[in-house]
Amino acid sequence: MLNCDILILAVPLTDTDKPLQAPAILKAVVEKHGYTAQTYDLNYELITSKNKELDFLKQYFSFGTTNDHNKIILAEDYVSDMATKILKIYDPTFIAVSVFTYQCQTFSMLLAQHLKKIKPGIKIIFGGQGLSIASGIQSSDAWAKECKQLGLIDHYIISEGEQALLNLLKDGKGKGIDNTDWEQKLDLDDNPYPNYDDYNLEQYSFKTLMITGSRGCVRRCTFCDIHKHWKRFVFRSGKSIAEEMIHQSERYKIYNFNFTDSLINGSMKAYRDFITVLAEHNQSAEKKLSWGGQFIVRGIHSMTEKDWKLTKISGGDKLNVGVESGSEAVRDHMKKQFSDKDMDEFVEQAHINKVRLQFLMIMGYPTETLHDFKLSLKMFKRYRKYQSVITKVVLGSTLSILPGTPLAEELEQSVQMNGGENFWVYDKNKSLDFRERIKRRIIMGEECAKMGFDVTNNNDYKLLHYLWNIYKNKQTQNVIDLNTSSLNEQKYS
């Protein structure tokens, strides 16, 4: 049995076949200060299991609901087995559960119940963005408080877990511990590199490590609520990011990295330093590094031809670009801060340098007219010649108006929510109701597919089908109750 001060768990469900970063970061932080720590990835253990009820387990752990209540015992038994297994392998003082999103809540609660049943004296900590309910990043800590009141957990940490966890281990209290009064860390360069020593990295189908270069965002897009959480955009030096990637690649023999940042190129000074150091490394390294993540569109005056060349040499690949709309007027209202000319220059340079892109689109923004929608279709027609680098078009479902976003606050008096964040109607554009938004989403998907773009994502269609049933039956939308089914064939275009 392995004795340690703290066991840090990644729990279901996060639908990824990459090693989750949070446990590795926290392990490195607490060990730097003299504590002993172990990590275990229960999430990957589930999604790669041969359990014949895997689909049910994934659905139930994600949304806490099922049409077949007789199967709930299967989920209970699975979690019970995991709790027993953990306490046979480890003897920790604390167990810290990384609740990555709200879709990890069901498993986390069940796990805490079974751990406390087997070993009542064990101290359990919940931490992560998933402690908030599923209605925006600024949501309350009511769920975490309830878990504590029920005796399932001893503490919870809502954000900036590195310092808060240390304070908890040292003093049992502090900012961000059992409260929302947390402080944003302003110096990211002094964090130790994530420690993946407990992970069996060979088992993951995608040989990729996550890396964090910044927190927050330089933009204030109207549909996004990230500014409610991160009050400031803080970033590491480009040199430190590159050095971490080089170090981790040598230590773990993994050469691809994915950024967790809201955007990689928020600070162009840090970005240039990063790609300069990494490009120099790649030009002499036997194993070249590659990386990808969220990116913002910048025109050629902001992101120069030299920047693009270094991006390619440094291993830049699969940049997820928040294009959102082919209409400049719509993007202006979103405060995206780039023009059609900027967009054309950006895609042209990606094509010249063979840097792959994924377009992230928003269907049915409140000010989107039929003309604006057609401009998005025309944009994809223009960009057919760039299909070799536009590897995927992510259309999602349709725009939801999240509480706490600038959009929700700006349009509060002129938007009727109609029982759900997806079901809104904007007084100044009433023809764009939920039915029309679904129609445009389906048309966009079909037309992009006809043009040869990869737009496949069956989960988006399942969500649309589910939401449409809620809407037409005049029910209240509650994503926690999501129980999707197959989408009937729908054709508009």
Left (φ > 0), alpha (ψ -120 to 50) or beta: where does 64 sit? Answer: left
Do residues 20 and 128 touch, judged by C-beta distance below 8 A?
A: no
What is the predicted pLDDT for the residue at 419? 85
Angle at 458 between CA 454 and CA 464, to 5 degrees: 115
What is the predicted pLDDT for the residue at 104? 95
User: Per-residue pLDDT for the chain (493 aa), expressed as one digit of tens each?
Assistant: 999 999 999 999 998 989 999 999 999 999 999 999 999 999 999 999 999 999 999 989 988 888 788 999 999 999 999 999 999 999 999 999 999 988 999 999 999 999 999 999 999 999 998 887 544 544 578 999 999 999 999 999 988 899 999 999 999 999 999 998 888 888 888 899 999 999 999 999 989 999 999 999 998 999 998 877 777 889 999 999 999 999 999 999 999 999 999 999 999 999 999 999 999 999 999 999 999 999 999 999 999 999 999 999 999 999 999 999 999 999 999 999 999 999 999 999 999 999 999 999 999 999 999 999 999 999 999 999 999 999 999 999 899 998 888 999 999 999 999 888 899 999 999 999 999 999 999 999 999 999 999 997 766 777 788 788 888 888 777 543 333 333 333 333 3
Backbone torsions φ then ψ of 226, nearest 5 degrees: -65, -30
**Which residues have C-beta within 8 Å of that of residue 264, sequence separation ≥ 6?**
213, 214, 271, 293, 294, 295, 319
Between CA 383 and CA 223 the distance in angstroms is 25
Q: Which domains does the chain have, with CATH numbers?
A: 2-171 (3.40.50.280), 201-481 (3.80.30.20)
Per DSSP, the residues of 330-360 read HHHHHT----HHHHHHHHHHHHHHT--EEEE
Residue-level length of the chain: 493
Do residues 212 and 259 touch, judged by C-beta distance below 8 A?
A: yes
Between CA 97 and CA 94 the distance in angstroms is 10
Between CA 480 and CA 103 the distance in angstroms is 8
Between CA 22 and CA 100 the distance in angstroms is 8
396, burial (CB in 10 Å: exposed 0-12, middle 13-18, buried 19+): middle
* Paired tokens of 276: 């300069």
* Paired tokens of 487: 């989408």
What is the predicted pLDDT for the residue at 492? 35
CA distances from 476 to 14, 417, 422, 425 (A): 26, 10, 10, 15
Amino acid at 389: V
Collapsed DSSP state (helix, strand, coil) of residue 450: helix
What is the predicted pLDDT for the residue at 479? 43
Backbone torsions φ then ψ of 267, nearest 5 degrees: -100, 115
Give the global pTM: 0.91
Left (φ > 0), alpha (ψ -120 to 50) or beta: where does 133 sit? Answer: beta
Peptide bond into 87 cis (omega under 30): no
